[in-house]
Amino acid sequence: MSSSSGRASSPVLRIRSLLRLILRRYGGGGFPLMMAAIVATLIGVATMAVVTDYRRTVQEQQRRLDFNATLLTTWLERSLSIATAEIGTLLSDMTALPALTPETVSTRMGEQISDTLLSSQHIGFLVVADATGRVVWSFNDSASNLDISQREYFREVATRRQGYVLGDPVLANALGKRINPVAWPIIGADGAFRGAIVGSLGEDHFRTLIRSLNFLPEARVEVFTRGDHRVFELQGADRPLEGPVLTSVRTAASGALRVQLSIPRDAALSSFYRRTQRTLPLFVLVFAVALGSAVVAQRRAVAARRSLRSSEIDRAAAVRSSQELKTVFDNVADGIVVFHDREGFEKANPAALQLLGLDVGPAIGTLRSEIAEREFTGDDQMEFDMPAPGDDPAKARMLSVRVSRLDAIGGSSWFCVIQDVTAQTRLAAARQSFITSINHELRTPLTSLMGSLNLLENRFAPQLPQAAGKLVTMGVRNSERLLRLVNDILTVQAIDQGQLSIEPEQLRVVTVLQSVIEQNEGYGLSHDVTLVPVSPETDAMIDADPVRLQQVFSNLVSNAVKYSPTGGSVEVGARIEGSEALFWVRDDGPGIPEHARERIFDRFAKPAHEDGVQQKGTGLGLSITRELVERQGGHLTLTSRHVGQAGREGSGSTFTVSLPLRSTARRTARLCA
């Protein structure tokens, strides 16, 4: 078994390593216990199978050994019986001899004895001794007159006077070899012991007989006499038996001899070892299949648990989401109506029913009618205003309805969001009324007032006292500021309502630049700031609205002048870059802080400078300027260095207006429109 265990050690180590790997990877939950149960079961079954096969093999070899020992004992007894029968005739004839003398035996029976010896396969040699133990005839002259009276087998046969006596092996000096004597008594007619015929077992015959029984090559056959003296032995292996052996002992019925058959246990179990080696790979395969099945089952169980856990989490999340959605649906301030055009699914939240002033059925019927009268845009969206159907038409609230349509195989679903925009509608109407009032009630008299003040300042200023002249000048400037504010408000209103008109004309870049200088030069001189033109040598043309363009540059130049130091200058220039005309306005003012460079383009933005630097304004100028530029297909950009970064000498801001040249202006304008 030790050799088998050694040969199996390597697969066992591999299985142990495989188990460790599997347990590290899938060792969660009850999997280690399951794996331990599987391993214990497989090892138990394998151990039981090996032990059972081992015991069966030992029992089978022992039965075979017992059978062979019994068979050999039977054959030996049969051989001695045959030898006794062959000697029986000689015994009878010698009983009739008058005396057992060398002359008598040799003359009367010598030839008969020799023929019997030569014809027998069971007897190796023969001698005849008289009652005194003296050899009177021998097949070999060297044994003549030999005294065997002291031999144990001779004394025993003389005493027993029947059957045969198998003596202990002796070394026959006359023959020069070891013999196994067998003695038969010669009894006279009067019953007296007259002598004995002594022979030797045919050892070569018995060896041939034993080999014919097909014992294992490693088997040892030993035959003992009644006195435990070994008659002979036959061992297939040259070396003596070592280690545990299987032994079978059988005693002849006559008790004259005992046969002992032995075989090494390892040799007897060689078939068991071979079967174990052949079945070990099968066991490993079954073991691997079982482990693989367990791992697959574990993975499926883990996946099932994860799927179940995920399903539970998803279900809980779905329930939570459904509850949250229902909470939002029921409590949102906007009205929400959902319906399907085929399945009859209809749902409306409380806000929708309150806004519409109807139950669910009539409310959805009203929405269906309103939607049927309109068309969806390309993205299945629709937005319209409608009076609240449950209100008095004279005082009806205004509702804004946004509709989204989702088409599917089973039909279309409609999602409607309803808002009460009565306040916004009324505010828009009030705003429009206010803008109209500003335009008619404020702008017209303000224009007349400004014209009168300009006339007074230009024609009668020399005749007016100095204090009165300052008041007239102050009135002119305030009226200009007020008119600019009114114009900005009207422009914003036009932008918001989509009523801003852009009427592009063919303009030369140089002409635009000259017009900017001419119209804003006086404003600069009034602040002791000089406008410095940088005119390109080009005949490039642009398509732009001259009025809106003048409004853009008036805003930019006035801002630059206001933030420029007294006695400073503002650079106004133009150049051509690729397919664009670039106009810039650069000042030497304090610059704009980095954190405010984006928000200055927002409406009513917070001041970008601290008190003492910030100039008064409406907060709409740059917002309107950017909108006007972009409406004409251009871009307005800013680069600035704040006084805190560059010092007073290097500070300043540059606003750049980029407009497409005439070759691309039309296409860009069409896209912007």
The length of the chain, given as a count of residues: 673
Element (H, E) at 52: helix 31-95
DSSP letter, residue 640: E
The residue from 362, 394, 419 where one domain ends is 419
13-65: pLDDT as tens digits: 665 665 566 555 555 556 667 667 777 777 877 888 888 888 888 888 888 88
Shared domain check, 626 and 529 = yes
pLDDT, greater one: 346 or 331: 331
What average pLDDT does range 296-311 have in this prediction? 80
pLDDT bin (cut points 50, 70, 90) of residue 660 is very high
**Predicted structure pTM score:** 0.41
pLDDT at position 618 over 70: no
Shared domain check, 392 and 290 = no
The CATH number covering residue 408 comes to: 3.30.450.20
Shared domain check, 543 and 598 = yes
Shared domain check, 315 and 183 = yes
Per-residue pLDDT, 5: 45
User: pLDDT over 90 for what percent of the chain?
Assistant: 9
86-133: pLDDT as tens digits: 888 888 888 888 888 888 888 888 888 888 888 877 777 788 989 898
DSSP letter, residue 566: T
Structure tokens at 36: 């331990």
What average pLDDT does range 386-392 have in this prediction? 75
Shared domain check, 395 and 447 = no
Q: Which of 93-97, 295-299, 574-578 is the most confident on average?
A: 574-578
Among candidate residues 265, 263, 251, 266, the one with its CA nearest the CA of residue 220: 263
Separate counts of helices (H) and strands (E) for the chain = 17, 23
Going through 39-148 in order, the beta strands assigned E by DSSP cover: 123-130, 135-138
Per-residue pLDDT, 215: 63
Per the structure, the count of domains in the chain is: 4
421-465: pLDDT as tens digits: 888 777 777 766 666 666 666 667 777 777 777 777 777 777 778
Residue 412 CB partners (closer than 8 Å, separation 6+): 340, 341, 405, 406
User: pLDDT over 70 for what percent of the chain?
Assistant: 79
Shared domain check, 86 and 61 = yes
pLDDT at position 176 over 50: yes
pLDDT, greater one: 352 or 529: 529
Three-state DSSP at 364 gives helix
In angstroms, the CA 541 to CA 510 distance is 9
In angstroms, the CA 571 to CA 580 distance is 20
Q: Tokens 């020992």 belong to which residue?
A: 69
Element (H, E) at 113: helix 102-119
Q: Tokens 């933005």 belong to which residue?
A: 605
**Which region among 434-448, 608-622, 649-663 has the lowest average model confidence (pLDDT)?**
608-622
What average pLDDT does range 178-192 have in this prediction? 85
In angstroms, the CA 401 to CA 419 distance is 7
Residue 589 CB partners (closer than 8 Å, separation 6+): 560, 563, 564, 565, 568, 651, 652, 653
What average pLDDT does range 304-319 have in this prediction? 84
Cα-to-chain-centroid distance, residue 399: 55
User: Residue 414's CB: how many other CB atoms inside 10 A?
Assistant: 20
Shared domain check, 527 and 474 = no
Three-state DSSP at 381 gives strand
213-236: pLDDT as tens digits: 666 667 778 888 776 777 766 665
Per-residue pLDDT, 206: 67
First to last CA, the chain: 100
Three-state DSSP at 560 gives helix
**Which region among 7-16, 281-290, 303-312, 579-588 has the lowest average model confidence (pLDDT)?**
7-16
The residue from 403, 419, 435 where one domain ends is 419
Three-state DSSP at 464 gives coil
Q: Are 493 and 485 in contact (CB under 8 A)?
A: no
The residue from 358, 386, 419 where one domain ends is 419
Per-residue pLDDT, 636: 92
Q: What is the average pLDDT score of the chain?
A: 78
Q: Which of 165-174, 404-413, 426-435 is the most confident on average?
A: 404-413
pLDDT bin (cut points 50, 70, 90) of residue 553 is very high
Shared domain check, 112 and 246 = yes
What average pLDDT does range 558-585 have in this prediction? 91
**Which region among 200-204, 398-402, 413-417 has the lowest average model confidence (pLDDT)?**
200-204
Query: Going by DSSP bridges, is the β-strand pair 398-408/411-420 parallel, antiparallel, or unpaired?
Result: antiparallel
Shared domain check, 165 and 74 = yes
pLDDT, greater one: 610 or 389: 389
Q: Is 470 exposed, middle or buried (0-12, 13-18, 19+ CB in 10 A)?
A: exposed
pLDDT at position 1 over 70: no
Per-residue pLDDT, 213: 65
Shared domain check, 268 and 338 = no
The CATH number covering residue 634 comes to: 3.30.565.10
HSE of 665, CA atoms in CB hemisphere, 13 A: 22
Domain of residue 414 covers 332-419
Per-residue pLDDT, 645: 60
pLDDT bin (cut points 50, 70, 90) of residue 10 is low
Shared domain check, 261 and 291 = yes
Per-residue pLDDT, 256: 73
Shared domain check, 169 and 30 = yes
Q: What is the largest CA-CA distance in the chain?
A: 209
